[in-house]
Amino acid sequence: MQLEIRSLALDDAPAVAALIAARDAADLDQHDPDFTAEELRDWWASRRQGLNGGAWIALDGDSAVGFAKLHVEGDCAELEDDSCVHPDWRGRGIGTRLIEELEQWAVRNGSARVRAGVLNDDGRALLEGRGYELVRHFWRMEIDHTAEPAPPATVEGVELRPYLPGVDDRALHTAVQEAFEDHWNQTPEPFEDWLRRRTTRGDHDPALWLLGEAEGQIAGAALAFGSRNFGWVLDLGVRRPWRSRGLGHALLVGVFGELYRRGFTRVGLEVDAASETGATRLYERAGMRVTRQYDWYERRLCSQSSASCSRKKRAT
């Protein structure tokens, strides 16, 4: 094996898309890829800064055998969950090399922690062997609609209405940031970054964003996206004063309908399995099921100036 690891480039999208598809087929028995190579390239291009030093591809000759990409949240460098090693090349040290690249980048750029999510036993063994500790489980949940979903129930005192681009942006950002304050390890995101990351996506359609308005304020929101026949709910949140009234369920069912009417019959989202706000129960009541689990591990790093590191205690 002639292993080469280099920085990821936009033109690597077809090879990485095929790599992720092979991973999904082997680990998840999923044979219908979530995205095309073109969609992956567009996704990377809209976040070009994410390829500047924080992403790598592992090659054996001309074959892509591994890939890793990170983003930074606060003081933590987080490995994106599509990062993987090709099933046929596991057990050859490729994952170790990619994790080493990630850790070295994190130290050079001042991150205090590294976090990574894994799907399989090989990934768990790799991280545990390097001193990572299990901190959380996240679920991917999905639903397949064979008929148009029923309309959402009325929530007293709350009007469900479409999002108005350019009018609702700042109030929506404020509402979503507040709704997610109770979530594990949540990091506030500046308005401009938050909006750009959503509105520059190739699958962005403002008609798939649904708001709940009460007393002149945005009480909750569901922000969905769709590509091919698959819909994705990226954000679903309700501010504290309006919780436990059925608003979260109404927003979710409402975007199910909007997605279905545009041909997106399968819908997914990701959720903290130990969500303090009861999100998993809400999604189960709406008919969603768990289709995969990511085990998230974390390691506290030594900075270049410190002589030793302390381990982060397991989150509860």
* Sequence spans of domains, the chain: 3-131, 142-293
CATH superfamily for 3-131 is Gcn5-related N-acetyltransferase (GNAT) (3.40.630.30)
Q: How confident is the model at residue 133 (pLDDT cuts 50, 70, 90)?
A: very high
pLDDT in tens, 264-284: 999 999 999 998 778 999 999
67 has a pLDDT exceeding 60: yes
Q: How confident is the model at residue 245 (pLDDT cuts 50, 70, 90)?
A: very high
How far apart CA 179 and CA 188 sit, in angstroms, is 11
pLDDT at 76: 93
For the segment 123-128, the average pLDDT, to the nearest whole number, is: 94
Q: What is the mean pLDDT of the chain?
A: 90
Q: From the options 3.40.50.300, 3.10.450.50, 3.20.20.370, 3.40.630.30, give the CATH code of 142-293.
A: 3.40.630.30
144 has a pLDDT exceeding 70: yes
Q: How confident is the model at residue 48 (pLDDT cuts 50, 70, 90)?
A: low
Percent of the chain with pLDDT over 90: 75
For the segment 88-102, the average pLDDT, to the nearest whole number, is: 94
294 has a pLDDT exceeding 80: yes
77 has a pLDDT exceeding 80: yes
Query: Tokens 């698959």 map to which residue?
Result: 230
Q: How confident is the model at residue 45 (pLDDT cuts 50, 70, 90)?
A: confident
Instruction: Check if 3-131 and 142-293 are the same fold.
Output: yes
Q: Do 259 and 249 contact (CB within 8 A), yes or no?
A: no
* pTM score of the predicted model: 0.85
For the segment 55-79, the average pLDDT, to the nearest whole number, is: 92
